[in-house]
Structure 1
């Protein structure tokens, strides 16, 4: 199989969720790191790959796709021998979709935004992002009280979509200590065979 090209920036949680899915599915891939600081993602050749100039994007033997959650769906439906990654029954499939929406909304405006401020100096309201993170984490802590995974009785793409920015929330100044169920969920994902982590930024560098 020809390796799938993954266009990314290493510290992006959006990119990491795709790389994690590739790894868990044991798919061959090569990473192509874009120099975002010098606007490589806005270069005309990359805009042919990702029209909105966003990462990640993949090139799978000529099939090009941007948007991290869409890529998760594509990878699983194309290559997963285990169909449980996207459950077939309507109610559980809807639960998965709802968590993909959370990843694009509450996770993006919460832990992702907080981390964008501390790591990249994004002009966002840091305290509002931290508050949104804790509102989300309080809900997830309760949700995970009597279950192991977000949407099903097993791991699904909902868990993969949610993992990266939540695991790295402390880099944005969001404390995970008050959420034992949430931390146990992160640990379960990290215990999956072929798990790969995202490049971390030492907390000391963020002071």
Structure 2
């Protein structure tokens, strides 16, 4: 059975595991939900994803939600497939795995916390009729800037955030990083942060992102 990813092609959280599937050459089908009409809040959907969020993965009846959990599952299950491993083996590469988890935790709490909330404040809130809280937005972008300054130091001595091999932690940055970059709220190619600029160019030039930068697509 082909893996089915239930979400929306333009959803950052749907694109996140889609990138991993593409990286590992795993065929999958995107099942588009009508989120505009709150399909993800319907009673039948809540039986599957009780938080009413997207996406979730159906792997021949095995259901998994939360985009980062899905990504880890896919990388673990298909790590021997053609392409990058993306996830060190916890048993045979314990130190590399620990470095990955460190980078993944940093992404979630020191990057995504600021980036996702800044995108919500500046882009999604006005789109849905709300008004941006400029003070809150400024605070979030300043926090994100501090994170990127630290990243530049980390990336001065290694190619990626967990070491010299690309991992899921790097790919997890692309969605919200791209949204804020395109809207010119941050500059991930700023010459003042040359190591971040080099890293950003590297991860966004990968075939997986080039294939899905306009939205996740079925590959099966």
Contact preservation (8 Å) 2:75, 2:85 = no
Q: Cα RMSD between the aligned structures?
A: 2.2
Judging changes above 3 Å, is the alpha-carbon distance between structure 1 residues 12 and 183 closer, same or farther for their aligned structure 2 residues? Answer: farther
Quote the residue 2:47 is aligned against: 48
Contact preservation (8 Å) 1:87, 1:93 = yes
Quote the residue 2:199 is aligned against: 185
Tell which structure's C-alpha radius of gyration is larger. 2
Unmatched tracts of structure 2, length 5 or more:
216-220
Output the CA distance in 2 between the equivalents of 1:120 and 1:164: 14
Q: TM-score, normalised by structure 2?
A: 0.80
Please report how far the alpha carbon of residue 106 of structure 1 lies from its aligned counterpart in structure 2 after TM superposition. 2.2
Output the CA distance in 2 between the equivalents of 1:193 and 1:174: 23
CA offsets 1:112-159 (integer angstroms, 9 cap, x no match) = 111122321176621121111111111111111122111122111121
Quote the residue 1:168 is aligned against: 179
Quote the residue 1:203 is aligned against: none
SS at match of 2:212: coil
Quote the residue 1:12 is aligned against: 11
Q: TM-score, normalised by structure 1?
A: 0.85
Does residue 26 of structure 1 match 2:38? no
SS at match of 1:105: helix
Counterpart among 109, 125, 131 of residue 105 in structure 1: 109
Output the CA distance in 2 between the equivalents of 1:38 and 1:120: 16
Contact preservation (8 Å) 1:26, 1:194 = no
CA offsets 1:75-125 (integer angstroms, 9 cap, x no match) = 011112168422232222111112222232222221111112232117662
Please report how far the alpha carbon of residue 59 of structure 1 lies from its aligned counterpart in structure 2 after TM superposition. 0.8
CA offsets 1:2-33 (integer angstroms, 9 cap, x no match) = 32111223333222211100111111111122
SS at match of 2:25: coil
Output the CA distance in 1 between the equivalents of 2:142 and 2:164: 29
Correspondence list, 1:96-135, <5 A: 96-121=100-125, 125-135=136-146
Quote the residue 1:198 is aligned against: 213
Contact preservation (8 Å) 1:22, 1:29 = yes
Please report how far the alpha carbon of residue 172 of structure 1 lies from its aligned counterpart in structure 2 after TM superposition. 6.8
Quote the residue 2:218 is aligned against: none
